[in-house]
Structure 1
Amino acid sequence: MSNLETLIQQIQQEAERAPFPIDIPIYQSANKEPTQPILYAGNLKSPLCFFGRDLGRDEVYAGQPLIGAAGTLVREGFYLALHGKKNKTKKELQSVCDRVLMTNTVPYKPPGNKAYSTEVKERFRPFMEQFLLFHWEGNQIITLGTEAFKWFAPYGKRGEVNKFFLNDDRYRTKLPVMLTAKDDNGMQHQRQITLLPLPHPSPLNQQYYELFPKMLQDRLNEFEF
């Protein structure tokens, strides 16, 4: 199986193989190469992963996922659960990367604020599968928003993930799925992971934005740090 550096190179090669929507002006203004993936931030040994939809402008500038307005809300909530107090500095907030992993369905920023198409997500799925299965050691994933949760549909029983998401208590219950990935020799590997869905913490998500901090704490109370 590929080491992590090789996997990142493979992702970039796939991005260069054929065009797909990338917010090139944002990468240019950040002085970043558009096809260089921003794959993750945090600790690969953490038992917990936050899994979002895709990158935003702030993430491109910072070179790491979940660091914009929504990501900051997630990081602040994790810091509070970890230390029992609110962070006072950006350095304290950045320290959450020592204890949790953060990544997305696709390691690129789409133009505007539109989600990537199913075609693009499927293009990069094999690499994300390898990343989660071969390079991350955990087994608990808090998904942020509908797109992030439904990315895991192929790993549940037929129709199970979509059916689960229709439940009124989806943000309070868990769903185990069997994550699978093929190594470079075509051998299939698998590991059970548990999904803990939450709504996306965007200020545009008026239904849940004010409720999100409490919902996140309820989720994090299920873990021992």
Structure 2
Amino acid sequence: MSDYQSLLTDDQRRAFRKLAEQTPGIDTEVYARFERDPLEPIVAHGDARARVGFFGRDPGRDEVQHLEPFIGAGGQLVRRALYQHRHGKPLPDFEASRAIGREYFWANTVPYKPVGNKAWSTSIKKRFQPLMAQVLADDWHGSEMIVLGREAFFWFGLNRSKAEREALDAFWERDDRYETSMPVTVGGAARERQITLHPLPHPSPLNATWYARFPALLAARLQALQA
């Protein structure tokens, strides 16, 4: 087991597991390869008190192996930028990348690896959205969310009003969407509250259009947020 423990309560973990039991498309082969439980959610790690969080799409193979979020190739790109920003020097090794992650909050749209790393369908994301919204509204106490990629950004319109969805659509059409920010409302079991989204491209090496530019874009976000 990883020592990078989820911040979920036992009740939340049971709720995620119950939904996962009814969810086709979880990559059980990869979970079996690493002797991991395919019903165990990989989400809500780091520091719940951190002002700045990161929100991405879903776990991949490396996340399943290490039971840690954002630890694969794309996540390492993020963590290298975080380490450089905090310490003014290159990330020295894998363990340092794990350590820097504990200073931020991490969550994603659906906390299970999909077969083929395909994005989860809208219906599956909607199924998990109330639980994920509770994590963001009730469990995380920060306010600034760096959102990685289109799928993660539009998650914030799921189960929300038409006006809120249209506002997200309009924002995403802006040429400066990776330099500006947008307030949104997230609702949990106990309350609704406002957070601010700071979108960036998805940091996957397969994202040829943005991959090389991603470190500079993230560095600018971190500088602006003084994070």
Query: Shorter-chain TM-score: what band?
Result: over 0.9
Q: Give the SS at the match of 1:120.
A: helix
Where does residue 186 of structure 1 map in the other structure? none
What stretches of structure 1 move > 3 A for 4+ residues in a row? none
Q: Is the 8 A contact 2:187 2:193 kept in 1?
A: yes
- Counterparts of 1:6 and 1:79 in 2: how far apart (Å)? 34
Q: Distance in 2 between the 1:30 and 1:14 partners? A: 22
TM-score normalised over the length of structure 1: 0.92
1:177 aligns with 2:184: yes
Matched AA of 2:197: L
Counterpart of 1:50 in 2: which secondary structure? strand
The equivalent residue for 1:129 is 133
- Considering only aligned residues, what root-mean-square deviation do their CA atoms show, in Å? 1.4
SS in 2 for 1:108: coil
**One-letter identity of the residue aligned with 2:183:** P
Give the distance between the partners of 1:158 and 1:145, measured in 2 at CA: 16
Q: Distance in 2 between matches of 1:5 and 1:41?
A: 14
Number of residue-to-residue matches in the alignment: 217
1:91 aligns with 2:95: yes
**In the alignment, structure 1 residue 44 sits paired with structure 2 residue 48:** yes
Describe the SS at the equivalent of 1:179. strand
Provide the rounded CA distance (Å) in 1 between the counterparts of 2:152 and 2:133: 13
Q: For residues 198-225 of structure 1, give each alpha carbon's deviation from its aligned partner in whole angstroms, at most 9, with x where no partner exists.
A: 0001111111011001001001001224
Residue 205 of structure 1 is matched in structure 2 by: 207
Calculate percent identity across the aligned residue pairs.
41
Say whether residues 1:138 and 2:142 are aligned partners.
Answer: yes
Describe how 1:186-205 pairs up with structure 2 within 5 A: 189-205=191-207
Contact 1:178–1:192 (CA under 8 A) maintained in structure 2: yes
For structure 1, list consecutive stretches of 5 or more residues without a partner in the other structure: 184-188
What do the CA deviations read for 1:155-203 (whole angstroms, capped 9, x no partner)?
77351011100000000000001111234xxxxx111100000000111
Deviation of residue 41 (structure 1)? 2.4
